């Protein structure tokens, strides 16, 4: 079985991939580009981008496996009925660590204290009596917008601090033993924002969820509230978020997912608004899930699915366009 691997994130785990692939696999690591001749007789393609031209070239392809959650760069309309598409996750533990770290940093004011002390300002209640003593994370009520594997893993860590939590999901359903105060559908979003000290956004982006957090919802979160977005940038309205942070409508935000992304090797500003000028924003380049743990786990999922394909067994995490 010929396997073309075009995802550079898997290259540090090459030995693991080759050891876990089915015996006798012909694995081609084509990180800088995939020539048509290599793709023409490949049976498995591992990568995030698959175009209509690639589909026309790949005469023997049986499986496109994305080594991540997003399949938006796969042209499903161009695929033949025989071409399967699968994805993988394994980022939930890494993202949960980010959520907890960001929640502590923002709720305790460490981010603004860091920036102030670089200018010689001791921005703590010990030295500035106008400043309030911040609460601990354990006193916080967490609101989850989306409660899939990321939300649940984050909650498992946060509840150890003593937090309480509620969740809004598309269906309003969560596991009965989740340990939440309540759960509801998106009609309860305003209530979630109003009651929460920290809101964790990890919902999927679609026509129903795009822009669902706007000025009214951020106003409901309030001046002591913290927003952490690890889902997709456009779940939160861009202008509304900037204005809420600039105007101190909310206390702060950790933004790991953005409104603009680089094309190829060219960098770009992540937004049309200058979020970087705001002292209460933790900005990260969609890196909350990027750890060796994440990609080692994804290698295991991808190679296990390739083995199932070779054996004629049902594949896991299949995705339809």
pLDDT in tens, 44-82: 999 999 999 999 999 999 999 999 988 989 999 999 999
Tell me if residue 228 falls in helix, strand or coil: strand
Would you state the pLDDT for residue 289?
97
CB 209 within 8 A of CB 235: yes
Cα separation of 152 and 121, whole Å?
Answer: 39
**254 in a domain, yes or no?**
yes
**179 in a domain, yes or no?**
yes
Angle at 151 between CA 147 and CA 154, to 5 degrees: 155
Q: How far is CA 141 from the centre of its chain?
A: 22
Of 49, 43, 42, nearest to 6 by C-alpha is: 49
Domain range enclosing 32 = 2-90+292-311
Angle at 206 between CA 202 and CA 208, to 5 degrees: 100
**197 in a domain, yes or no?**
yes
**317 in a domain, yes or no?**
no
Do 124 and 223 fall into the same domain? yes
Do 157 and 302 fall into the same domain? no
Do 100 and 242 fall into the same domain? yes
Residue 305 pLDDT class (50, 70, 90 cuts): very high
Structure tokens at 237: 């309205």
CB 98 within 8 A of CB 92: no
Is a pLDDT exceeding 80 seen at residue 265? no
Supply the mean pLDDT for the chain. 96
Is a pLDDT exceeding 90 seen at residue 196? yes
* Confidence (pTM): 0.92
Do 126 and 145 fall into the same domain? yes
């Amino acid at each position: 079985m010929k396997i073309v691997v075009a995802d550079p994130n898997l290259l540090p785990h090459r030995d693991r991939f080759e050891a876990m692939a089915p015996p006798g696999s012909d694995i081609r690591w084509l990180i800088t580009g995939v020539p048509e001749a290599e793709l023409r007789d490949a049976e498995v393609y591992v990568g995030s981008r698959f175009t209509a031209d690639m589909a026309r070239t790949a005469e023997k392809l049986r499986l496109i496996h994305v080594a991540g959650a997003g399949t938006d760069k796969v042209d499903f309309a161009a695929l033949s009925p025989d071409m399967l598409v699968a994805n993988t996750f394994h980022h939930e533990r890494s993202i949960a660590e980010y959520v907890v770290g960001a929640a502590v940093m923002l709720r305790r004011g460490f981010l603004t204290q860091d920036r102030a002390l670089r200018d010689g300002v001791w921005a703590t209640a010990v030295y500035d009596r106008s400043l309030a003593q911040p609460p601990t994370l354990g006193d916080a009520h967490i609101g989850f917008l989306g409660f899939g594997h990321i939300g649940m893993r984050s909650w498992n860590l946060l509840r150890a601090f003593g937090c309480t939590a509620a969740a809004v999901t598309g269906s309003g359903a969560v596991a009965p033993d989740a340990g939440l105060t309540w759960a509801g559908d998106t009609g309860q979003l305003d209530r979630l924002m109003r009651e929460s000290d920290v809101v964790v956004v990890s919902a999927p982006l679609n026509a129903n969820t795009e822009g669902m957090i706007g000025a009214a919802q951020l106003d409901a979160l309030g001046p002591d509230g913290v927003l952490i977005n690890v889902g997709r940038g456009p779940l939160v309205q861009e202008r509304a978020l900037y204005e809420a942070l600039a105007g101190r409508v909310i206390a702060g935000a950790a933004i790991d997912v953005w409104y603009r992304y680089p094309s190829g090797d060219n960098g770009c500003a992540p937004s049309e608004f200058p979020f970087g000028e705001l002292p209460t924003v933790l900005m990260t380049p969609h890196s909350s899930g990027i750890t060796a743990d994440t990609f080692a786990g994804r290698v295991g999922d991808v190679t296990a699915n390739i083995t199932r394909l070779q054996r004629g067994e049902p594949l896991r995490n299949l995705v339809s366009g």
